[in-house]
Amino acid sequence: MEFSIKAGGLEKARSACTVIGVFEPRKLTEAAAALDRVARGYLTGIVNRGDMEGKSGATLLLHSVPDAPHERVLLVGLGRRNEFGEKQYRTAVAAAIKALAATGSPDALMHLTALPVAKRDAAWKVAHAVMVAMEAIYRFDRMKSKPQDETKCALRRLTLVVEKSGLRRAEAGLEQGLATAHGMNLARDLGNLPANVCTPGYLAEQAHQLAKRYRMKIQVLEREDMEKLGMGALLSVARGSTQPPKLIALQYQGADKKVKPVALVGKGITFDTGGISLKPAAEMDEMKFDMCGAASVLGTLKAVGEMRLPFNVVGVIPATENMPGGSATRPGDIVTSMSGQTIEVLNTDAEGRLILCDALTYAERFNPAAVIDIATLTGACVIALGHVATGLFANDDALARELLASGETACDRAWHLPLWDDYQEQLKSNFADFANIGGRPAGSVTAACFLARFTKNHKWAHLDIAGTAWKSGKEKGATGRPVPLLTQFLAGRARRR
């Protein structure tokens, strides 16, 4: 879809469909009132008859509105004016796009972007309109044998209306919103692909394509390289699989070499059976999503590359399957990580932390200003926070606050959980330096505590996206989170440099 921005004075502009808001109860917005004057009260009539109360997310499509320069007029409910905020704004845009997609309109003129949203400027409104629209029209039909006609959408061009004073900021918002949406789409596609297609080698191939397109440096470590580096933890997870593991490092340099990069480390388990500690059969298919951390790193790097962000970023992705098999790691096996610390693998299903710990040690060689890992790490995080917030842990409070604020702005929120040393006791092992699990209580915290033992030399944060990276049920599929949070974070760092 193509997006463009226009400012004010659009009474004469023509379109296949114009999109205007109605507040509850039955109150036309400015843009709607302007059109109503042209149409000599036609809209007022409709609203007064009770066909559009203005409830948040409701839509009403009108054809042949008298004297209107548009083939169609789409009324969109906004809820009560005094309750209209970020959530209602995004709901209205999403509802509008869904309604538009069901019409034959090739283009539309969207007035919702000119509505005031408390504390948010034109850049924010445009960026979110673009992200919400792209999210609403996203389809994954690559694995279907025939194109899906029912979900085809004629909408090609969307013009976003903003107030004149916000024109320049709106252009910036359009750039960031579109780059973020493209990054999310990549992350969603990779997440949605089945594990027999999206293997560690496939992820490496995708990284190569990004490197080529956006001029990034890339290294892919093979099994032998990992052996030389002593990545015993990562290798112990790969043992049961016939797919060769990969460790991908992508370097984006948009600022001077001297500027320390932010390192993003993404869990890339392309399928998690649990290994010898095998998972139950029900819903095991969803473990193809266990590489969504890796996908979010690639998606974020795509966004960064597309924006030509004046900043340095490194993406590190340990990628492997977690399979049972004759040479798979057994519960009780003890492995030596790249850091030299030994780990008793009490449960082979706690594999994410095992591949991440070596990747985190490897990331140190890039001398990062901060390291952020992103992982579908624990079922316990889904129990704690559901599918709303990503779990956030950090060894630095300022970094945690910065990430929380980025999540708020991006409408991709995280919640700060504790990483106190008191929890470290749960990882005690009678045989190795520590174990890879800490029992049922506070499962997300002990997983983070495990990672903290490998990140003492750097400012580090951990995002547990087990509840936010994908949806189950009827709308099963990857969400593209937390690409918006990460892109916003990096854009903020680039701006403040």
**Residues labelled as active-site residues:** 279, 353
Instruction: Considering the complex, state which of residue 259 and residue 382 has its C-beta at the smaller distance from ligand BES.
Output: 382
Instruction: Report the site for Zn ion in 350-389 (rule: CB under 5 A).
Output: 352
Number of residues that bind ligand BES (CB under 6 A): 16
What tokens does 46 get? 């409709």
Q: Which tokens sit at 312?
A: 């340095």
The reply to whether 477 sits near ligand BES by the rule CB under 6 A is: no
Of residues 289 through 308, those in contact with Zn ion by CB under 5 A are 290
Return d(Cα 476, Cα 486) in angstroms, integer.
23
Q: Does 272 interact with Mn ion (rule: CB under 5 A)?
A: yes
| Identified binder of ligand BES from the candidate list 290, 306, 373, 402, rule CB under 6 A | 290
Does 374 engage in binding with ligand BES (CB under 6 A)? no
Shortest distance (Å) from residue 269 CB to Zn ion? 5
Please report, as residue ranges, which positions from 409 to 438 form the binding site for ligand BES (by CB under 6 A).
437
Interaction of residue 93 with ligand BES, rule CB under 6 A: no
207 vs 377 by CB, closer to Mn ion: 377
Q: Is 272 in the site for ligand BES (CB under 6 A)?
A: yes
Task: Mark residues 321-350: x for contact with ligand BES by CB under 6 A, - for none.
Answer: --------------------------x-xx
Cis status, amide bond into 441, omega within 30 of 0: no
Of 36, 351, 358, 402, which one interacts with ligand BES (CB under 6 A)? 351
Site string for Zn ion, 236-275 (x = CB under 5 A): ---------------------------------x--x---
User: 180 vs 337, which CB is nearer to ligand BES?
Assistant: 337
Q: Which of residues 343-362 bind Mn ion (CB under 5 A)?
A: 349, 351
What region, left, alpha or beta, does residue 406 occupy, with left being phi > 0 and alpha being psi -120 to 50 degrees?
alpha
Per CB under 6 A, 466 contacts ligand BES? yes
Q: Rule CB under 6 A: choose which of 382, 405, 424, 477 binds ligand BES.
A: 382
Q: Which is nearer to Mn ion, 371 or 447 (CB)?
A: 447
Residue 321 touches Mn ion, criterion: CB under 5 A: no
Task: Report, in Å, the least distance between residue 396 CB and Mn ion.
Answer: 27
Is residue 112 within 8 Å of 133, Cβ to Cβ?
Answer: no
Q: Which residues sit at the interface with ligand BES, rule CB under 6 A?
A: 272, 290, 347, 349-352, 376-380, 382, 437, 443, 466
Q: Which residues sit at the interface with Zn ion, rule CB under 5 A?
A: 269, 272, 290, 352
